[in-house]
Chains A and B, each alone.
Chain A
Amino acid sequence: MLQRFENHGRRAWLNEHRQNIVNKNLCSEADQTYAILGKLPWNSPQFGFDDCKPIHTLWRTLGTSWMNTSVIDAALEVINVKADVRFDLTSQTLIGHSDIITKLMFFFGGNIEKPKEYTSCDWLNNIRREVFQRGKRLLTIAHLGKLPAWKGKTKGADHWVPVGVDGSDLTFLYGDSMCGQKTPVMPPALFKAFTTWKSYHTSAEFTMAPIEITQQTDNTSCGPCALNAINCLAFPELDELAKPEDIACVRLRTLYNIISHVIDMADNTGISTASEASELTNWDDEDDESQESFKTYLHT
Chain B
Amino acid sequence: MSEEDQQVPPTEEDVKGDNTPINVKVVSSSGEEVFFKIKRSTPLRKLLGAYANKVGKQEHTIRFLYDGARVAQTDTPKSLEMEDNDTIDVMVEQVGGYSP
Q: 0/1 per residue, A161-181, Cβ < 8 Å to B?
A: 000000000000000011000
> What is the CA–CA distance of A61 and B61 in the complex, to the nearest angstrom?
18
List, in ascending order, chain A residues with CB within 8 A of B99's CB. Answer: 157-158, 219, 298
- The answer to whether B30 and A290 have CB atoms under 8 Å apart is no
Question: A123-B67, A143-B96, A290-B60 known; A69 and B91 CB under 8 Å?
Answer: yes
Question: A287-B60, A293-B58 known; A145 and B96 CB under 8 Å?
Answer: yes
List, in ascending order, chain A residues with CB within 8 A of B89's CB. Answer: 99, 103
Work out how many contacts link A and B, with CB atoms closer than 8 A. 103
> What is the CA–CA distance of A157 and B30 in the complex, to the nearest angstrom?
18
- The answer to whether A221 and B70 have CB atoms under 8 Å apart is no
Whether a CB of chain A sits under 8 angstroms from the CB of B71 is yes
Whether a CB of chain B sits under 8 angstroms from the CB of A216 is yes
Specify the chain B residue showing the minimal Cβ separation from A177: B98
- The answer to whether B67 and A122 have CB atoms under 8 Å apart is yes
- The answer to whether A52 and B74 have CB atoms under 8 Å apart is yes
Question: A99-B91, A290-B60, A293-B61 known; A222 and B97 CB under 8 Å?
Answer: yes
- The answer to whether A50 and B95 have CB atoms under 8 Å apart is no
Q: 0/1 per residue, A12-39, Cβ < 8 Å to B?
A: 0000000000000000000000000000
Partner of B98, one of A102, A222, A298: A222
A selection of 9 A-B contacts at a CB cut-off of 8 Å is A50-B69, A69-B63, A69-B95, A124-B68, A157-B96, A158-B96, A158-B97, A159-B96, A294-B95
